[in-house]
Chains A and B, each alone.
Chain A
Amino acid sequence: MASHDEHLDELRELAADVLEVEPDEIQDESDFVETYEADSLRAIEILARIEKKYKIEIPQSELAEMRNLKAVYEIVARHAGWPD
């Protein structure tokens, strides 16, 4: 199983692709909406790509918590059963 850092980087790349920025521009705690001008559709795209990549389903109610990369990691880790 990939390590914490590898998973974090995978998520960083996925989010960067959707937000149309370079992966190294995404800081762990920068707000997607405030820093990268994400809108509700981008958030849904990120969610959909994560679900497809890791074959999990994340309840839509948790979408609002996915405000930055760190929060995304925590939610995905919980649903994908990653050890922390």
Chain B
Amino acid sequence: MMGKFAAVLPGELRYAKNHMWCRTTDAGRHRFGFTAYAVRLMQDVYFLDWQVNAGDVLQHRQTIGHIETSKAQSDLFAPVPGTLIEFNEELLKDPTAINIDNYGAGWLFEMEAADAGIMTVDEYYQFLDGNWENTQRLLKGHM
């Protein structure tokens, strides 16, 4: 999937095109975090910063924050349109949970939103496979 390296993708989660996983909580909110694929590309997270506040209404793919890691930096974007309910405050003090437990304690934020465009694990696998060529070009183009 990522060349010869496999990344773990739990089957019970669903996935957004920006390489975030989505878990619907009992309260009907959607909790998002980075997939193992995203974490593998970024490697050790140094710093995470949000540019929007809890309660903000987000457009799909609106810039919401920024992340810096040992290998990369990136803006972060809203995976779906909706209302941001809360951020994982623990990560702002210490973002290492993203690397240690990306599907658990490393969650990023919760939103109230329709879940349009969210993929099943199979669809996400296909999405990754189909984009691996382009992803490699992106990575190499910058190195």
Q: Do A and B come from the same complex?
A: no
Residues of A within 8 A of B (CB): none
**Chain B residues with a Cβ under 8 A of chain A:** none
